[in-house]
Structures are given as structure tokens and as C-alpha cells.
Amino acid sequence: MKKPASSAAEKALKLRKRVKGKKPHFVRHESWRYVRLKENWRRPRGLDNKMRRKIKGWPPTVSTGYRGPKIARRLHPSGYKEVLVYNVQGLKGIDPETQAIKIAHTVGKRKRTQILVEAKKKKIKILNLGEATETVEREREVSEEEKEATTEEEITEEVEEMEETVEEEPKPKKKRKRRAKKQ
């Protein structure tokens, strides 16, 4: 398989990483003052707003000067271009040399396994492979547990044990509420 990014794109990715380290954490206006306001960025729009006017001493606002290099935009840190996939048909137009897939979180177990199989056949890189394989492994564990058939005798023994433990536990005493006397 060829390298996912050219030398210019690799340089741009390194530059983006360096620039992102210097970029400030943008906060919502006066989120530090009120508990009800979260720090999630909201553009300040007030007429006299100090952040909007970029007055010294106030937190920085989002602007185009903080953008990363144009070549590196919409690229995964690995250098591949991300493509969101919902089903097997979504794999048809993907170039394995420059693009990689991310399986959508709404995709179920059955379709997820089908997508994994097809992607491996076509040698397409999967960016969220860890999450995808975890769900497949969980599915296998559940199916193995279901396959282990329990006999009726085992079930009746378990029920009897549960009944014995319930009988042994003492019941808690009810507390009486005292009423306050009126004076």
C-alpha cells in the first residue's frame, strides 16, 4: 500500500499539530462567572461586549488566523481523508490509497461485521477499528453464552438457592413517624 499523504501533506499535518498546540482554549463569554453557562464556545454578539470588541485582558475569540494549513484540513492525523460509512454500499467509491473509513456509531452489529469483512477484502483502512472490533467481540461472547444450554435441573437448583437466601435475610423494621405537637 502506498503512503496515504504526499510530502507536502505530511509537512502540513506536522505544522497543523504544532499550530494547534499554540492555539488558545476558546471559552464562552462570562462562562467563568456563571455556573449555568458552560464553557462551550458561543460567539459574543452584544453591542458593548468586550470579547467581541477584542479588548485587552479578555479571552481571545475564534478567528480565521487560528486555522490550520489548507492542505491538512479534513485530514485524519494518519494522513487519510475520512469517509463516514453507514452500509456496505458506502465502500464502493472509496480509494484505499488516500481515503479511510469510519463506521457510523448508529450502525448495528450485523451491518458493522459486514462492513468490516468487505473493507478487509478491499484493503481499506478503518479508523475506528477498536470500537468496531469491541462490538463484534461482545456479540460473539453473548452468542456463546446463549449456545450453552442449561438443563431444567440446573434451573430448578438455582431457583431453590435463591429462595433459601431470601428466607434467611431478616426484614427491616418499619420506623414510626412522630408528629409534632401544636402549641
The average confidence (pLDDT) of the chain is 83
Q: What angle do CA 97, 103, 109 make, to 5 degrees?
A: 135
Quick one: pLDDT band at residue 171, thresholds 50, 70, 90?
Answer: low
Q: What is the DSSP string of 54-123?
A: T-TTSPP---GGG---TTTTTB-TTSPEEEEESSGGGGTT--TTTEEEEE-TT--HHHHHHHHHHHHHHT
**In what helix (H) or strand (E) does residue 140 lie, and over which residues does it extend?**
helix 129-147
Unique residue bearing C-alpha cell 440446573? 154
Average pLDDT in the 107-119 region? 91
pTM: 0.57
Q: In this structure, are residues 28 and 42 in contact, taking their beta carbons and an 8 Å threshold?
A: yes
Q: In this structure, are residues 41 and 23 in contact, taking their beta carbons and an 8 Å threshold?
A: no
Assign 126 to helix, strand or coil.
strand
> How far from 6 is each of 16, 27, 31, 42, CA to CA, in Å?
15, 35, 42, 36
Instruction: Label the pairing between strands 81-85 and 99-103.
Output: parallel
- pLDDT, position 63: 93
